Structure formats: structure tokens, C-alpha cells
Structure 1
């Protein structure tokens, strides 16, 4: 890669942003010990297994598509879900509420306020058996456990930055 001194201001800023995100990325990855607990949950029949987590991710994709949320909302919701599952031992019966809560938190962070469906509608479409107050309570728990660090550096963050750098470099020619 060329030296930064030969890059225009925009490309220089993008490269610095990329470096900054690389240094922050590990903070937003699920803990490996938590992921190992999920893997062993299938063997021990307690806690959320990787199979249950994957099914919930598929549900989140369906809800994201149904409500017309962006891919960024989906990626952030999955990141929140994985980080939460990696630090908390969760009973499978609570997974629907956790998943929808993660999606709702992500939608509030990414989407325009006018594009966010009412909470009761999100619960109804998800075909879950919890209340709006359950969802609100779970959102507070998730926010608390993740130390309010909800805006995560994700794989999508890097894809956007790499794309912007490539576009910037090719437009210089």
C-alpha cells in the first residue's frame, strides 16, 4: 500500500478510521469462553446451544426483512446477541425475548425513528409470548451487561471502510 503522505485527505481519513476500528474490534467480539459455553450447552442440555443461537439469527433476519430494516441493523443485532450470550448463561426459553430485544436496540440505533415499528408490533410479528414490559426490561439488562457499548465495530463496518478506500483509491487515478 502506498505511503499515507501520497494519499488524498479522504483516503487518509479512511485509512486512519480503518486502523482505529481494527484497534477497537476485539472489544466488540464475543468472548471465546462464552462461545465455548454455548458449544458445550448442546452436550449438557443446559443453556443456549449454537444450534439455538443460529435459529435465532435466522429469525432475526426474517424480522429484519419483514420490517425493512437495513443490513447494518441486522449485523448489529447479531453482534449484540452474540456478545450477550457470551457473557451470560441464558435459558433457551428466554432466547426469543433476548433476540427481539437485540433487534429492537439495533433498530433504535441504526434506523430513522419513523422507520421503527411499534414494540407491540415487533413482538406480535415475532410470534413471541412476552410483553412490551418484558422487552423493555430485557433491553435494560442487555444494555447494562454490555456496558452501554452498543455501537459495535462489526464485519460490516470493515466492509464499508474497505469499499470506501478502494473507491477513493480508484477515483484518484
Structure 2
């Protein structure tokens, strides 16, 4: 139990402890802005072009990158046994697609999905898979998703409630808990690995994007990760390469004229090879051309006219993108019962 401490109003004795100095000065908010955010003319004045992030004094953040890259090497695992088994790959794809559907159903965030897939792949790469037990992959998927939700989410459904979207097998809570313990012990309780989102979060914080576009940029990256996460070919790339290719994909959509310049800066920061990025980027183009084709067509109808200025391009892009909450919503989700709680993605 967490004890409730009585809060007392104490004036700071040291100016250093005055947190008011950390507050940013903000422009007043008009009543008209409450309904629809910025007006188009105001937003075009406020939205800034993406600035080369290496121009900023952020060398102090290089230590964070080094830590991520060092931890990434420690988290790499041999996936040969997983990708060389056609039967297992088929079961993996079905299990992960089910995961993504459940994650969308409950409104879990992207990191929950990435962690669940990471746990699944690491576990299945280390244990022997018996082809006479096709239900095992589904059971492991439920257990890994449950663990990831407990790690990342504020509210987690009961184990029986987690098994939505008409799964082929439904397991008792006791059985799932036993597999959870097996997964945890097999992975040696290392449940906080470096993921592509780790690098994406770091890089986005080094961009000089306006605050109102920061979340849109981040959400676009997360949607791409969710759109490609079930493909087994992604296992051949480390998280830093996946993150760089994803960022390049998004930047190329927003500001194609400077995309190569930003890519060079990304490679310098994350120390990744261009050949690997090109290969991963081609895979993203292939996968998003399939899973995101309907979304792209919808965007084209809604965004027939795009301003010619860089600021206008970014503004129009995110304006259209905001109408699509997710690139990975399966058609079957509409038939699912509404969950009792659903956390909105930010």
C-alpha cells in the first residue's frame, strides 16, 4: 500500500527550487480556438519548417544515444530458428495480427504492441516449437500481450477479456499465468528492451518542431511501426535501422526536398549504414503500399489541393493525417464489442 502523505504549502527557500522559472511563456488562448484549434492563417504563421536538428546545442544528448546503441547490442537475439520455419512463421503472423487487433480494440499505445511482439519473438526463438501443438503460438501471444499491457498500460483487462476478436483458441486464466511466468523466466525478466520507438522518441525530441506538430509527427511514426510490425522480414533489422527508415519515410512525405539531408544527419546521430536503411525503407514502402493503400486513396480525395510553401505542405499534411487515427485498423474491429474503457492515443 502506498501511504498518503499530507501536502504542506512551503515557500521555496532557495531560488533554484523555484519551478516557476521553468514554465514557458505562452500566448493567450482565444475562445474561438477552443473549438477548432488554430485558425489556418495563424497556424501557417506559427508552424515552422523542420530545422536541421544538429544546429542545436544538444551534444549533451549524445550520451543517451550511446546508451541506446549499447543496450541495443545486448538485446539482439538469434532469430534463425524462427524465420527458417515456414509453419512457425505462418502461426507468428496470425498471432501478431490478432495482437494488433486487440491492441486497437482496447486503445493500447504503440509501445505495448512493440513490447508484446518483442517478447513473443524472443521467447519463440529460444524454446522448441512442437508442430503438433498449433495452439501454443496463440497461448504465447496472449501471455506476451498480457505482460506488455501490465508493463505499459494504466488499465489492463482481465485475461479472459483480453481474448477478443474471435480467437481460434480461448485459454483459462490459470493457464495464461503459467505461460506468463515461463516467458518471464525464459527472457530472464529483461522486459524493457530498446525498441525502434526508443530511438524515434529520442530523435523527435531533437527536432525543432512546433509543439502542436510534435504529437502528429510521433503518431505518424507509431502508425507506420504498427503497420509493419507483423512482417517477419523486419526481424533482420536492429531497432536503430527500423527507426531511421521510419523517420526517413515520414520526413520524405513532409519535406521531400530536404529528406536526404535529414537522412544524412540521422545516420550520423544513430551510426547506421545507408545500405541497411535503404533495404529497410524499401520494405516499409512495400508494406505501407499494401496496408496503407486505402488510407492513401482517402487522403488524396480529401487533400486535392496542397499549398506550395514548405510551411503549407507540413500544415496540410498533418491536417489530412489527423483524420486517420490509425493505419492498422483491421476491418473486423468494427464488429468487436465496445470495451468498458479505452485510453485515447496521444
Aligned residues: 153
Once residues 7 and 71 of structure 1 are traced to their aligned partners in structure 2, the CA distance between those partners, rounded to angstroms, is 30
Q: What does residue 153 of structure 2 align with?
A: 111
1:19 aligns to 2:82 (yes or no): no
Higher relative contact order (CA 8 A, sep 6+): 1
Q: Which runs of 5+ in 1 are unaligned?
A: 43-47, 169-173
| TM-score between the two structures when normalised by the length of structure 1 | 0.79
Q: C-alpha deviations, 1:91-134, integer Å up to 9, x for none?
A: 3321111001111101111111xx21112211355633211001
Larger Rg: 2
Q: What does residue 171 of structure 1 align with?
A: none
Q: Which runs of 5+ in 2 are unaligned?
A: 1-52, 210-346
Q: What does residue 45 of structure 1 align with?
A: none
How far off its partner does 1:155 sit?
Answer: 1.0
Aligned with 1:133 (options 174, 177, 197): 174
Q: What does residue 75 of structure 1 align with?
A: 114
| TM-score between the two structures when normalised by the length of structure 2 | 0.41
1:1-173 equivalences in 2 (<5 Å): 7=57, 12=60, 14-31=61-78, 35-42=79-86, 49-91=88-130, 92-112=134-154, 115-125=155-165, 127=167, 128-167=169-208
Once residues 145 and 165 of structure 1 are traced to their aligned partners in structure 2, the CA distance between those partners, rounded to angstroms, is 36
Once residues 186 and 81 of structure 2 are traced to their aligned partners in structure 1, the CA distance between those partners, rounded to angstroms, is 17
Once residues 194 and 144 of structure 2 are traced to their aligned partners in structure 1, the CA distance between those partners, rounded to angstroms, is 16
Contact 1:73–1:107 (CA<8 Å) still a contact in 2?
Answer: yes
Q: C-alpha deviations, 1:12-71, integer Å up to 9, x for none?
A: 2x332221011011222331xxx22223322xxxxx522221221111100110111000
More divergent stretch after superposition (121-130 vs 137-146)? 121-130
Alpha-carbon RMSD across the aligned residues, in angstroms, is 2.2
SS across alignment from 2:111: helix
